[in-house]
Amino acid sequence: MEFLELAKKRYSVRDYSEKPVDDVLLDKVLEAGRLAPSACNNQPWVFIVIRDEDSRKKLESVYTREWFLRAPVIIAVCCDRSASWKRADGKDFGDVDAAIALDHMTLAAAEAGLGTCWVANFNAAEARKLLMLPANIDPIAFTPVGYPGPEAKPKKSRKGRDEIVFREYYGGRKQ
């Protein structure tokens, strides 16, 4: 599949079927995250795969949406702050690196016919506790992974290029 076609195909799925995700497909999704680029190639990400039904149910205290908990797999994407690259001004690129890895995974999942949804609005303290994260590991985002259910709505809207692309400087000549 051509890349832009794949990017257009991926959307935020908020309804999942009960069909289990095959280990081979899940491994491809995780491999896509592993292969993502990162600042100075530090690869500070950690992926926690949550498949067990009881473990997924415990995540209700982290994020309360029913559709999230119905997915057969949930991946927590975390950042190891002790491994992330810091720019000279102190900017920590761990969040950026984790986001790139998660984006690679969402695209690999879409290519495999699986749905995902970025979840960043969660209770981080509760996630840290449930996932038993040490102090240097921060939860960045979650994504459910599974086959889209009958109520999944494949729509997304995007700003026009003329709204976001400038030439030479911010506010400069547009596309």
What residue segments make up the domains of the chain, in order of their start?
3-152
- The DSSP code for 52 is S
Neighbours of 109 (CB within 10 A): 26
Q: Tell me the whole-structure pTM to 2 decimals.
A: 0.94
What's residue 172's pLDDT? 80
What's residue 175's pLDDT? 54
Task: Give every residue of the chain whose pLDDT is below 50, as ranges.
Answer: none
**CATH numeric code, 3-152:** 3.40.109.10
106-150: per-residue pLDDT in tens?
999 999 999 999 999 999 999 999 999 999 999 999 999 999 999
